[in-house]
């Protein structure tokens, strides 16, 4: 079933934008909940072997979600999302940031604006994520980090495979 679910991923270099679109085999109510309720986000937001752990969440315009990405060795990367606009079961947007456990911004990293749009058709929900950066170097910075994480993840998966 997994392979039938469409995913689009593109980096729009001219507009400093990353576009991710993915279908989910569930009605919009459930998908919306998974993207907006911290106890559900904690279950999937971090790619394995990392885990997301919410410290606080206030899902309303002007509120924010403060969480840590916790690594297999217990290392913590804190991040937050400041919610800007919320249209229930349709879309929400926010500005992300790396920070410390108190939510104090890490100025070394660029912030980006996320706009997540949800549309349901025939019981399948498509989520479109647009991540808007100020400048292209910001995408590069995030990608380099994703690369490192991805590499760590790949090693983690290899460990699992070797245990079998």
Partner 1 sequence: MKGDIFQAIADPTRRAILVLIASQSMTPNALAEHFDTTRQAVSKHIKVLADCELLTQNKVGREIHYYFNPVKMKELDHWLTQFKKHWEDRFNQLDQLLINLNSDSNEK
Q: From 38-46, 64-72, 80-88, 110-118, give the range in contact with partner 1 by CB under 8 A.
A: 38-46
Q: What torsion do the CA atoms of 9, 72, 96, 100 make, to the nearest 10 degrees?
A: -160
136 counts as binding partner 1 under rule CB under 8 A? yes
Number of neighbouring beta carbons within 10 Å of residue 32: 21
Residue 55 Cβ, how far from partner 1 at the closest point, in Å?
Answer: 20
Residue 95 touches partner 1, criterion: CB under 8 A = no
- Measured from the CB of residue 37, what is the shortest distance to partner 1 in angstroms? 11
CA dihedral 2, 50, 148, 66 (to 10 degrees): 110
Stretch that binds partner 1, among 69-77, 99-107, 110-118, 142-150 (CB under 8 A): 142-150
Nearest 5°: CA angle at 83, between 91 and 10?
55
> How many CA atoms, within 13 angstroms, populate the side-chain half-sphere of residue 141?
13
Rounded Cα distance, 68 and 51, in Å: 8
User: Contacts with partner 1: how many residues (CB under 8 A)?
Assistant: 36
Residues of this chain that interact with partner 1 (CB under 8 A) are: 1-2, 5, 7, 9, 11, 13-14, 20, 22, 24-26, 30-31, 33-34, 40, 43-48, 136-137, 139-140, 143-144, 146-147, 149-151, 153
């Amino acid at each position: 079933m997994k392979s039938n679910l469409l995913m689009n991923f593109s980096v729009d270099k001219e507009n400093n934008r990353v576009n991710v679109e993915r279908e989910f085999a569930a009605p919009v109510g459930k998908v919306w909940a998974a993207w907006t309720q911290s106890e559900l986000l904690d279950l999937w937001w971090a790619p394995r072997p990392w885990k997301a752990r919410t410290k606080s969440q206030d899902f309303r315009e002007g509120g924010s979600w403060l969480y840590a990405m916790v690594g297999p060795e217990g290392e913590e990367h804190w991040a937050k999302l400041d919610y800007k606009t919320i249209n229930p079961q349709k879309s929400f947007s926010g500005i992300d940031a790396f920070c410390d456990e108190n939510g104090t911004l890490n100025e070394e990293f660029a912030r980006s604006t996320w706009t997540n749009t949800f549309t349901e058709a025939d019981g399948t929900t498509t989520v479109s994520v647009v991540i808007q950066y100020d400048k292209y170097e910001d995408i590069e910075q995030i990608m380099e980090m994703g690369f490192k994480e991805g590499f760590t993840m790949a090693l983690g998966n290899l460990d699992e495979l070797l245990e079998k």
